[in-house]
Amino acid sequence: MNILASGIVALTLVLMTVSCSSHTFPNSGPAAPCLEYKVGARGEPLGTVPGGSDLFTAPVWLFHHKLKLPLPVPLKAYVCPDEVAFAAKVDRIAGVGAYGDWRQPPTGVATEAGLILRGDHLSRMDAAGCAGIIAHELTHISHQTLAARRQDRAPSWILEGHAEVVRFRVLDLAGYRTYDQSRAEVLRSIGTSRRLPNLRALEKAKDWWVDSLPQSEAMYGEAFLAVEWLTERYGTAKLVEFLTRLRLGDADHREHWGKVFPIPYEYFLDEFSYRLKSLGRRDESPSNLVHVGT
């Protein structure tokens, strides 16, 4: 067993014995501060906040050693006791009004200054749920690092789909759930969805503001399948190259895409629409056909 392999085993054991619900994050009212954690480049805890840092050290270790995705050093994470403290922290870091009008209060957001999380939400989740949320949001922080904070130039389906690919990989590497199990769940979710939007309708961040949880899950699942297919065909390095190019000039994302991928953006979207239909039809129930449209 080499050092990397033994490291994975150790991480798995740590994650398996830590449950988010076992953590007592501060919950003493609106005035309670958010706890601040710091993690070094190789996943080592920095700072002095007791407990909880294991929630962040393991995913950061995986980002550095296994996924090869950059994160700021040190990585900062804030765990806030409730919505009031969370909203105040988001506004303080990202600017007044940044908290916005989410249809469903988020559990975490990725900002330039680090990850901001709702401790009251995490306390109700199991360890896999927490690891998944943290992996997803860390991916967005990695997007910011790659694109020098111009990640919003990318279509949202790429950002969200990639965050889901990474979430499933982290859950697999940490021993919670295999990648194939996560993927099968996605196929079930889109198979039971009556309608799915075309990827063209998932290009802006606001396109994801929906009221229905099943619809939201199906949209994230669709984006996951699209990014999975993109990286299967052209490799993850090409996706990273695309995200890194966003920092250059003022070009539209289609122009950057054309410099990186050998297939025109619009062709890929059309081909994926056909692929999505075929994935839906593989579902066992004939009534579970996927209808791709607006």
**Helix, coil or strand: residue 19:** coil
Residue 188 buriedness (CB in 10 A; 0-12 / 13-18 / 19+): middle
State which residue, 8 or 86, has the beta carbon closest to Zn ion: 86
Task: For the CB of residue 243, give the shortest distance to Zn ion in the complex, in Å.
Answer: 14
CB of 228 to Zn ion, least distance (A): 16
Return the number of the residue (163 or 173) whose C-beta is nearest Zn ion. 163
Q: How far is the CB of 133 from Zn ion (least distance, A)?
A: 10
Nearest approach in angstroms of CB 208 to Zn ion is 8
Taking CB under 5 A as the rule, which mask of x and - marks residues 135-174 in contact with Zn ion?
-------------------------x--x-----------
Q: Residue count at the site for Zn ion (CB under 5 A)?
A: 2
Q: What is the distance, to the nearest Å, from the Cα of residue 179 to the centroid of all Cα atoms in its chain?
A: 15
Closest approach of Cβ 214 to Zn ion, in Å? 17
75-80 β-sheet, strand order? 45-46, 35-39, 75-80, 114-118, 108-111
Q: Which is nearer to Zn ion, 115 or 163 (CB)?
A: 163
We find the least distance from the C-beta atom of residue 264 to Zn ion, in angstroms, to be 26
Question: Counting contacts by CB under 5 A, is residue 109 touching Zn ion?
Answer: no
Q: What DSSP string describes 45-113?
A: EES---S-THHHHHHHHHIIIII-----SSEEEEEESSHHHHHHHHHHHH-TTTT---SS--SEEEETT
Name 41's Cβ contacts closer than 8 Å, sequence gap at least 6: 60, 64, 71, 73, 74
For 21, 23, 121, 191, the CA distances from 26, given in Å and listed in that order, are 13, 10, 12, 40
Smaller CB distance to Zn ion: residue 138 or 190? 138
Instruction: Say if residues 80 and 91 touch (Cβ distance below 8 Å).
Output: no
Q: Are 140 and 156 in contact (CB under 8 A)?
A: no
Q: Give the residue carrying structure tokens 């804030």.
A: 78
Measured from the CB atom, is 147 or 163 closer to Zn ion?
A: 163
Give the nearer residue to Zn ion in terms of CB position, either 208 or 229.
208
Between 155 and 280, CB nearer to Zn ion: 155
Distance of closest approach, residue 110 Cβ to Zn ion, in angstroms: 8
Residues lying near Zn ion in the complex (CB under 5 A) are found at 160, 163
